[in-house]
Structure 1
């Protein structure tokens, strides 16, 4: 039985199925370790999710289990932001846990841009 941090986990994980090509997505860029795709419920003019291909439930599990994969996710996020014309003016967000707004428990980094943001976030 696969645990949530098992890199081979697919089960009913939406993002594992997306990475496998079983769920359609508007992929904007990819590497050998990560995939970036448009969020289906965008919160900004640019809202792209970047996920590692391997399953880890959250950013801490990814950082602990595969730090290079975490670095790849962040590098891909920057590449996406540049390609989207955000010129270094964007927000990166990891939500960790249901109380913080995480709804899919496969690490994903939100790349948000194209509008002004306030602090603190809502």
Structure 2
């Protein structure tokens, strides 16, 4: 698998940087975001280093599908029952800060929102 020795997410995958893991298999790692935007906020990342969604090709479709199917499973396991949000930021104008493809899955009550 491709690995970037300077990538923070590659270092998390390699175990060089600790994370609060919620899921791991041969292809993916999911862990709690250290700066959550919601009560439940996990990042789902491929173990294959892909800088962004812009780098995906047809061969990556199963990987992205696996990430998309994992998000609702994790939200349910983490007690999110009233909906959740998934976000993939791509490139500088898309708000991407870490250049390793990742999906944010966020849910749980957000008391700062007005009803």
Give the number of equivalent residue pairs. 112
The aligned runs of 1:1-122 (5 Å cut-off) are 7-87=1-81, 89-116=83-110
1:34-84 C-alpha deviation (Å, 9 max, x unpaired): 110000000000110000010111124235441111111112212211101
8 Å contact 1:52–1:69 — kept in the other structure? yes
C-alpha distance in structure 2 between counterparts of 1:34 and 1:65, whole Å: 16
Q: Which runs of 5+ in 2 are unaligned?
A: none
Q: TM-score, normalised by structure 1?
A: 0.82
**Structural RMSD (CA):** 1.9
SS of residue matched to 1:68: helix
Q: Extract unaligned runs of 5+ from structure 1.
A: 1-6
TM-score (norm 2): 0.87
Q: CA deviation at 1:92?
A: 0.3
- Which contiguous aligned blocks of 4+ residues in structure 1 show a shift greater than 4 angstroms? none
Residues 79-122 of structure 1 deviation map (CA, whole Å, 9 limit, x = unaligned):
2111012136100000001222211000000001113598xxxx
CA distance in 2, matches of 1:20, 1:88: 34
Structure 1 CA distance, aligned partners of 2:23 and 2:54?
23
